[in-house]
């Protein structure tokens, strides 16, 4: 019974080019930095409003609250900008069907206006 069973050969899928590889680990870390930054901003707000740290500690309390808010902003803003640019890249590649539908809608709208 040699050779009676058909063998299925699975060819491995080619690895995508470096610029086409998904940046999932990078996006994960950037999202984690963004969430950490937002948590620092919320911590600074809680220390300011909830515990009234500047009133109880004076200048050191103000420095602590400002440091938490500033560190949170530093962590959160660059990652938001990067994620926005990534979203713009994804939206730039619009499927051809969507573009064709938009052209058809525009033509239909202009032909209705010509008939009146």
38-70 pLDDT per residue, tens: 999 999 999 999 999 999 999 999 999 999 999
Mean pLDDT rounded to a whole number for the chain: 77
Structural element, H or E, at residue 60: helix 59-92
What was the pLDDT predicted at 43?
Answer: 96
In angstroms, the CA 89 to CA 21 distance is 14
Per-residue DSSP letter, 51: S
Helix (H) or strand (E) run with residue 56 in it: helix 53-57
Higher-pLDDT residue of 97 and 65 is 65
Asked whether the beta carbons of 39 and 11 are under 8 A apart, the reply is no
Higher pLDDT, 21 or 56: 56
């Amino acid at each position: 019974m040699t050779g009676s069973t058909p063998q299925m050969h699975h060819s491995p899928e080619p690895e995508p080019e470096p610029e086409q590889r998904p940046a999932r680990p990078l996006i994960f870390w950037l999202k984690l930095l963004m969430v950490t930054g937002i948590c620092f901003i919320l911590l600074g707000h809680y220390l300011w409003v909830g515990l009234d740290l500047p009133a109880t500690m004076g200048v050191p309390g103000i420095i602590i609250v400002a440091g938490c808010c500033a560190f949170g902003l530093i962590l959160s803003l660059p990652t938001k900008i990067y994620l926005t640019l990534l979203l713009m890249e994804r939206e730039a590649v619009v499927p051809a069907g969507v573009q064709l539908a938009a052209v058809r809608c525009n033509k239909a709208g202009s032909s209705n206006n010509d008939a009146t």
